[in-house]
Amino acid sequence: MELGQVLALFAAALSAFLAGMGSAKGVGLAGQTNAGVSTENPEVNSKLLVLQLLPGTQGIYGFLVAVIILINTGVLGGTMKAVSVMQGLALIAAVLPVAVVGYFSAIDQAKVASSGMLMTGEHPDMSGKAITMTVMVETYAVLALLASFLMVMAIQV
């Protein structure tokens, strides 16, 4: 295996790893709040689950970019294509938006979701506002996904 191929695999791993770590931490943080609020007001649990799940999307975005790299390099086809060192480094640079923004936005989204859960626990009719506030953080994860996707697709392997 050549260095460029190793760098391409590292890029895929970095994309899935960082975004996934952020989502795992975010869903966990939101889950802790969900458990507390649901204990006090069990009727709102189904509304809180939506808020708990939202920080998990960043991990999906990172995984998606990783899969695209694996498809483009032929790994999922069974035979990995030749990848130059420059292409490997370019792939690492290309995954940085979804990896880094995915990590931090998932954690920040969980904080907003947790606040929304507290609001929904006190005022169940405000769950739509809580979801809207939480989804606003998602915007930046989506922009990072698009940036990484466009850069990965522009790298000819």
Distance CA 10, CA 8 (A): 5
3-state secondary structure of 103: helix
Which residues neighbour 57 within 8 Å (Cβ) at sequence distance 6 or greater? 23, 106, 138, 141
Measured from the Cβ of residue 98, the count of other Cβ atoms closer than 10 Å reads 33
The residue ranges of every structural domain in the chain are 3-154
pTM: 0.94
Identity of the amino acid at 4: G
Digit-by-digit pLDDT tens for the chain (157 residues) are: 899 999 999 999 999 999 999 999 999 999 999 999 999 999 999 999 999 999 999 999 999 999 999 999 999 999 999 999 999 999 999 999 999 999 999 999 999 999 999 999 999 999 999 999 999 999 999 999 999 999 999 999 9
Q: What is the pLDDT of residue 5?
A: 97
DSSP 97: I
The residues, ordered by sequence, that sit 6+ positions from 78 with a Cβ below 8 Å of its Cβ are: none
- Residue 114: predicted pLDDT: 98
CATH of domain 3-154: 1.20.120.610
